[in-house]
Amino acid sequence: MKIAFQHKQAAHCENGVISNLLIHNGYAISEPLAFGIGSGLFFVFLPFFKINLAPAISFRPMPGFIFKRLCKRLGIKIKHQKFKNTATAKTSLDALLQKKIPVGLQVGVYDLTYFPDAYRFHFNAHNLVVYEKKEDTYLISDPVMENVTTLTTKELEKVRFSKGTFAPKGHLYYPIKFPEALPLKKAILKGIKATCRDMLAPVPIVGVKGMRMVAKAIKKWPKKVGTKKTNHYLGQIVRMQEEIGTGGGGFRFIYGAFLQEASEILKLPELIKFSKEITEIGDLWRDFAIDASRLYKNRSSEFDGYTKVADKLLILANKEEDFFKRLKKTIAQYG
247: left (phi over 0), alpha (psi -120 to 50) or beta: left
Total of chain residues touching another protein, rule CB under 8 A: 51
Question: Residue 275 interacts with another protein (CB under 8 A)?
Answer: yes
Does the protein bind another protein through residue 249 (CB under 8 A)?
A: yes
Determine which residue in the list 5, 11, 66, 107 makes contact with another protein, applying CB under 8 A. Answer: 11
CA distance linking residue 291 with residue 294, whole number of Å: 5
DSSP state of 2: P
Is residue 75 close enough to count as binding another protein by CB under 8 A?
no
Q: In Å, how far are 228, 249, 250, 274, 320 from 280, measured between CA atoms?
A: 31, 10, 12, 10, 11
Regarding 81 and contact with another protein (CB under 8 A), the answer is: no
> Does 282 participate in binding another protein (rule CB under 8 A)?
yes
**What is the footprint of another protein within residues 292-311 (CB under 8 A)?**
293, 296
Q: Nearer Cβ to another protein, position 46 or 203? A: 46
**From 14, 198, 242, 277, residue interacting with another protein (rule: CB under 8 A):** 242
Q: How many residues belong to the chain?
A: 335
Q: Which of 58, 141, 227, 231 binds another protein (CB under 8 A)?
A: 231
> Quick one: which of 56, 78, 167, 213 contacts another protein (CB under 8 A)?
167
Q: What is the DSSP string of 83-146?
A: -S-HHHHHHHHHHHHHTT--EEEEE-STT-TTS-GGG------EEEEEEEEETTEEEEE-TTSS
CA atoms of 105 and 271, how far apart (whole Å): 34
Rounded to a whole number of angstroms, the minimum distance from the CB of residue 270 to another protein is 15
Which range touches another protein (CB under 8 A), out of 6-14, 67-75, 83-91, 322-330?
A: 6-14
Distance CA 15, CA 69 (A): 12
Closer Cβ to another protein, 205 or 272, answer by number: 272
**Residue 262 — left, alpha, or beta (φ > 0 → left; ψ -120 to 50 → alpha)?**
alpha
Decide if 241 contacts 250 (C-beta within 8 A).
Answer: yes
Closer to another protein at the Cβ: 257 or 313? 257
Interaction of residue 273 with another protein, rule CB under 8 A = no
Q: How far apart are CA 130 and CA 317, in angstroms?
A: 40
Residues 170-209 that bind another protein (CB under 8 A): none
Instruction: Please choose, out of 19-27, 186-194, 198-206, 241-249, the segment that lies near another protein by the rule CB under 8 A.
Output: 241-249
Q: For 283-305, what is the HEC assignment? A: HHHHHHHHHHHHHHHCCCCCCHH
CA distance linking residue 168 with residue 151, whole number of Å:
17
3-state secondary structure of 167: coil
CA gap 275, 261 in Å, rounded:
9
Cα 293 to Cα 47, 80, 161, 298, 331, distances in angstroms: 20, 40, 35, 10, 37
**Which residue's CB is nearer to another protein, number 77 or number 243?**
243
Q: Does 257 bind another protein (CB under 8 A)?
A: yes
Cβ-based nearer residue to another protein, 66 or 101 = 66
Asked if 63 is part of the footprint of another protein (rule: CB under 8 A), the reply reads no
Binding mask 115-154 for another protein (x = CB under 8 A): xxxxxxxx---------------------xxx--------
- What is the nearest approach in angstroms of another protein to the Cβ of residue 254? 5
Q: Which residues bind another protein (CB under 8 A)?
A: 9-11, 32, 52-53, 110, 115-122, 144-146, 162-165, 167, 231-232, 235-236, 238-239, 242-244, 247-249, 253-254, 256-257, 260-261, 275-276, 279, 282-283, 286, 289-290, 293, 296
